[in-house]
Amino acid sequence: MSNPSLLILAGDGIGPEVMAEVKKIIGWYGDKRGVHFDVSEDLVGGCAYDAHGTPLTDETMAKAQAADAVLLGAVGGPKYDKLDFSVKPERGLLRLRKEMDLFSNLRPAQCFDALADFSSLKRDIVAGLDIMIVRELTSGVYFGEPRGIFVEGNERVGINTQRYTESEIARVARSAFELARKRSNKVCSMEKANVMESGILWRDVVQEIHDKEYTDVELSHMYADAGAMQLCRWPKQFDVIVTDNLFGDLLSDMAAMLTGSLGMLPSASLGLPQANGRPKALYEPVHGSAPDIAGQGKANPIACILSFAMALRYSFDMGAEADRLEGAVNDVLASGARTADLMGPDGGTPISTSQMGDAVIAALNATL
């Protein structure tokens, strides 16, 4: 029986640095746990444009389609800002999501107890926070047509179109309900049904799927702006939040900061199951390429490490090994180890990217 395959696309900026720590952990699982992967690597984003004149080659796209899971670091940087929109680094990531049909984006916001004081909110509001935002990823305003910048009369007009079909809403709703059944059995759907027809359809379809297939799950609806306010007021009222592409982008970044740092948050983008039962999947940290600290050993690799933990859980059905890795991260944070982004106002000496990876390895060794 062949090993499961992983395609690593480290990308730009701090992507290669944080991915280096993930590769060390993948090696640890092979050496210490007998969990082996067939790992290949390729380019995406600005580095792919530099090498090939495109942010994602057809050959790399084919590799992603064939892999059991894709691990991505980050894409982009200021040196690419003036490129034509069609070849900007982010187009490589969007192509992966679209052509792999990764419609369900899971973005957990979990506050480790050791970091509760790093949140902008009070400890009692965020301590123990563990919510999951399910963001529709392949439709909505980021993909709708018509789009573009046009000239009307004597001025330019920018147009983006919010568009959803019933089936696109239904499948991400099912993804959220299925996930809720494995958590606290509670879903809140967020849209803007008060001012957007797409929001009316979203609310109607989510309710219909619930009433036909998931009556055991508690469902509530909330306008997305009110949801943003409630995330700041009392985030622990939520468990699973399901929302569209644009609102999911905004709300998940807001939820990220409740936990103390973007450097802590992983994500999974999942599609429909393949013949082997595994979903098409791409795992990546929520943070960007952070070009201002690239190459300096300051980046926090934990979000990328936890993205690999999500791969263990959702692509390879290795929940116990995912728990092991997440527990090791928790132990490292509880020990006081901090990268620069996690340093409090009292200062201290941060550890480097590679030292954080080594600390996680040491914590994994302690579990044996």
Which residues are identified as catalytic?
A: 142, 192, 225, 249, 253
CA 298 to chain centre: 21
- Residue-wise burial string across 292-308, b where 16 or more C-beta atoms lie within 10 A, e elsewhere: ebbeebbbbbbbbbbbb
d(CA 364, CA 324): 7
- Residue 290: how many other CB atoms lie within 10 Å: 23
Question: What is the number of alpha carbons within 13 Å of residue 35 lying toward its C-beta?
Answer: 18
CA end-to-end distance (rounded Å), the chain: 26
Phi, psi of 120 (to 5 degrees): -75, -10
Which of 368, 296, 274 is closest to 65 using CA atoms? 274
Q: Is the dihedral of CA 40, 46, 52, 54 positive or negative?
A: positive
CA angle 258, 253, 255 (to 5 degrees): 30
CA angle 246, 203, 182 (to 5 degrees): 80
